[in-house]
Structure 1
Amino acid sequence: MKKNYLLLVLVIAITFIGGIITGHYFSTNNEHSKSMNIQKVTKSTLKPQTKKLPNVKKTSSKVLIGYVQDYRDPNIVDYSKLTHVIFSFAHPTKDGGLLLNGDTALSNLRATVTNAKKHDTKVMLAIGGWFHIKGGESYDYFKPAISNPTSRTRLVNELTRIADREKLDGIDIDFEHPRSKADAQNLAAFTKELSTQLHAKNKELSIAVYSKIHAQTLTEIGFVEYEPSMFVDVDHVNIMAYDGQWDGGYHAENLSPFPFTEKIVTYWTHLFETYKIPTEKLVLGVPLYAQPADPKIKQVSYGAIINQNPANANGDTVNMNGTTYYYNGEATMKKKTKLALDCNMGGMMLWEAGLDAQGARSVTSTIYDVLEASAKEPVKYYSVKKN
C-alpha cells in the first residue's frame, strides 16, 4: 500500500515537471514566432525593370476585310483597321495554271504583305474576279480549270505554292458565278481540295459569293447556284451585297440600298441556319464606289466624293459631273454594320479598300469604330429564376 502511494506521488511529480517544461518550450517558440510575424520590410532590395509590352496579335471577334486591286499603291491602305487584306486578282488558266498581272502586281503583292505584317493584318490572294487578264470573263477560264480533276489539282497546288512562297495567310476564291448544278459541284470539289491543303498549313480559305437577291424585286435569283456543303470548308463567306443597279434594267439607286441588304442578310443567315453552318462565317460586303444615274458616265470612288466635300459623307447621293451618284454614306454604313452584328455575322467586307477616302471620314474607319464599340460592350449576366 505504501509502495503504491509512493509510486502515485512519483508519477504526479513527473507529470507536473513535464508540463512546466513543455509550457516553457511552446511559450518561448510562440514569442519567437510572433516577433517574426511583426517584422516589417522597410525597403525592397528588388529593383523592378521597365519592360516593353508584348506584341499581341489582333484578337477581334469580328473581321474587317478589304479587297485591294493589284494596281493600287499598297501604301494608301489603312492596314491598322483591317483584319484581312485580299489582294486581287490572280488569274486561272484553263489547264490549271496561275497568272499575275506582270511584275508590278507581284511587287505590289510583296509590298502589301510587308505593310500588313507591321499591323498583324492577314494577307490573302484572290483568284478569279469578273475580268480575265487575257480578256473576257474570268468564268470562261475558271470553269474548265476546276471541271477537270487534273487541272483542278494543278490549280490547287499552284495556289498553295504561291501562298507559301509569298508568305500569304490564305486564298480567296472569286468564281463569278457558278451557273449550273455541275458548276456548283465542281466549285465545291475545288474548294474542298484547296481547303485541305491550306488548313494543313494553318492558312485560311475564303470565298466571295453573289448576293442571290434581285435588287428590284427583292426576290431570290436562281441563275447562280451553290452547293451549301461547300461553305463548311471555308473560313469566311464574303457576300457581294452590291451591284444591284443592273437588275430589271438600269437603276443606279439599286447599287446597294439598305432594304436590298436586309433581304440579302435574311437569305444567307437563314440558309446557314438551315444547314447548321455557323453564321459567323458570313461577312457582309459593302461598296466603296458610287453609281451614276447616267450609265454612260463612269463610277467614282468614295474617296473622290469625300474629296469634293467631306460633308458628302452624311448622305447617300451627290451631284457631280452633271449627274447624280448613288453610294453608301456613313449613316448607311453604320446601319449595315449593326445589321450584320445583330444577325450574328462574322464581320464586314469592303470592295474595295483602294477606293476609300483617307482619314477619319473613311468607310474603313466608320465600320471599324462600330465593330470596336460592339466588342467593348459589357458582358450581360442573367440569373436563373427558381420556381
Structure 2
Amino acid sequence: MLWMIKNRYLLLLIAVFIFTGGFFTGGLYSSHKSKQERQNPSIEARVAPKSIKNLVPKKMPKVESPKSNVLIGYVQDYRDPTTIDYSKLTHVIFSFVHPTNDGRILWSGDYAKSNLRSMVKRAHQEKTKAILAIGGWYHIQGGESYKYFKSAISNPTSRTRLINELTKVAEQENLDGIDIDFEHPKSKEDAKNLAAFTKGLSEKLHPKKKEISIAVYSKIHSVTGTEVGYVIFEPSMFNYVDYVNIMAYDGQWDGSYNAANLSPYPFTENVVRYWSQLFDQNKISKQKLVLGVPFYAQPENVKIKQISYATIVKSNPVNANKDIVAMNGTTYHYNGVPTMQKKTQLALKNGFGGMMIWELGHDASGTLSMAGVLSQELKMIKNDGKVYAFRAETK
C-alpha cells in the first residue's frame, strides 16, 4: 500500500516536471522567435499598412513641343497640280480667289476649282497642309486687287459676308486654312479694317482647327534700307494669325528700276531686322514670321520678261550656285543656292518660323530643286545653343 502511494507521488512529480518544462521551453521559443522577427522581419512584416486616404495622382506638367520650321510655297491657280513636289513642303497655298466689292469671291474659272481640289488631295497624301489665298496683286476683273479688297473689308456687312464665304469654302474644299494677301493697306483706316477682317476670320476658322496666314509687304526700301511709310499695318493684327509671310523681294521697283535690287542678301538682312524688332516690341512670337524668297530672275532690261529659276539651271546647272547670269541678250539677277542657304540661316537665327516661296511653278525638278535646298536647310541640328545645317550639294 505504501509502495503504491509512493509510486503515485512519483508519477505526479514527473507530470508536474514535464508540464513546467514544456511551458518554460515554449516561453523561451516564443521570446527567441519575437527577437528574430525584430532583427530580420519577414516580407509580410515589412509591408506598410494601407492608408485609408484616397491617393490622387499628380498631373504631369504639360510640355509644349517646339514647332517645326515651316516651308510654305505659293502656287498659281493655272499650274498643273501634278507638277508640284508637295513632299518638301509643310504648306502649299493656292493663289488666288478674288474678292468683290460686296464681299463675295470669284474664281479664275472652272479650271481653278478643279486644280484646287487636285492640289488638296495630293498635298494631303504627303501630309502637307493646303491653304487658299485671297487677293494678290491683280484682280480677275482687271486692274489691281486693292480697290476690291478695300471695299469688301471697309463695310461691316460685306466684311462679314467675305469672312463667311471663305469659311464656307475652307470647309467644303477640305482646306487647312486661308491666306490673306491684301496688297497693300495704304492708310490707318485700311490697317484698321484689315485687322478687323483678320480677327473676324480667326474667330471663325481657329475653332475649326484651321490656320490663317497673311502675306505682308517687306516694309523696307531696298536702296535706302529704311522703313517704308506708305504701307501700314496694325501690329495687333498679327496676334490673330498663325504665320506672317514676308514678301522680301521685288525690291527692283524701289527708286529707279534696278534688277539687282530684286532680293539681295543685305536687303534681306534689313527686312529681318525690322520684323524682328517689331515683333519683339509688341511681344509677339517671332516663330510666326516666315521669310519669303523669289524663285524667279529679274532682267536688267525692263522690257524683257522675268524668267524662272528652272529656266536658268536648265540652261546650265552651274548657274544654281550664282546670283547673276547673262541670257537672252540681257543680264538676270536672282538668288542661287548659296544665297538661299544664307537667308534661311539668317531667318532661323533670328527666331523666324521658316521660309516662304514665290512661286512653286518656277522651281526646277530633281536634284536642282530650290525647294529641296530650302527643305534640307530647314532640317536643323541644335547643339549647345549653336545652330547647324545640312548643306545642299549642287553640281
TM range (shorter): 0.7 to 0.9
Shift of 1:78: 1.2
Deviations 1:281-332 (A, max 9, x none): 0000000000000000000000111111111001000111010000000000
Match of 2:70 among 63, 75, 81: 63
Match of 1:143 in 2: 150
**Residue 299 of structure 1 pairs with residue 317 of structure 2:** no
Q: For residues 327 and 148 of structure 1, what CA distance do their matches in structure 2 show? A: 41
Q: For residues 102 and 18 of structure 2, what CA distance do their matches in structure 1 show? A: 116
RMSD of aligned C-alpha atoms? 2.2
Match of 1:109 among 116, 122, 125: 116
Mapping of residues 1-387 of structure 1, within 5 Å: 8-14=20-26, 61-372=68-379, 374=380, 376-378=381-383
| SS of corresponding position for 2:96 | strand
Deviations 1:103-145 (A, max 9, x none): 1101100000010011110000000000000000000100000
| SS of corresponding position for 1:217 | coil
Deviations 1:156-191 (A, max 9, x none): 000000000000000000000000000000000000
Match of 1:52 in 2: none
Distance 1:173 1:5, change over 3 A: same
Distance 1:224 1:118, change over 3 A: same
- The number of residues matched between the two structures is 343
Distance 1:253 1:4, change over 3 A: farther
Q: For residues 18 and 276 of structure 1, what CA distance do their matches in structure 2 show? A: 76
Shift of 1:14: 3.2
| SS of corresponding position for 2:113 | helix
Q: For residues 146 and 99 of structure 1, what CA distance do their matches in structure 2 show? A: 16
Q: For residues 183 and 150 of structure 2, what CA distance do their matches in structure 1 show? A: 10
| SS of corresponding position for 1:150 | helix
Q: TM-score, normalised on structure 1?
A: 0.85
Aligned letter for 1:262?
A: E
- Structure with bigger gyration radius: 2
Q: TM-score, normalised on structure 2?
A: 0.83
Q: State the percentage of identical aligned residues.
A: 61
Q: For residues 127 and 349 of structure 1, what CA distance do their matches in structure 2 show? A: 17
Deviations 1:21-60 (A, max 9, x none): 99xxxxxxx9xxxxxxxxxxxxxxxxxxxxxxxxxxxx96
Q: Give 5+ residue unaligned stretches, structure 2.
A: 1-12, 35-41, 43-65, 387-395
Match of 2:53 in 1: none
| SS of corresponding position for 1:271 | helix
Distance 1:379 1:9, change over 3 A: farther
Q: For residues 237 and 326 of structure 2, what CA distance do their matches in structure 1 show? A: 43
Aligned letter for 2:99?
A: P
Aligned letter for 1:9?
A: G
Q: For residues 5 and 361 of structure 1, what CA distance do their matches in structure 2 show? A: 109
Q: For residues 4 and 236 of structure 1, what CA distance do their matches in structure 2 show? A: 100
Shift of 1:11: 2.0
Shift of 1:367: 0.7
Q: For residues 96 and 15 of structure 1, what CA distance do their matches in structure 2 show? A: 101
| SS of corresponding position for 1:377 | strand
Q: For residues 33 and 150 of structure 2, what CA distance do their matches in structure 1 show? A: 99
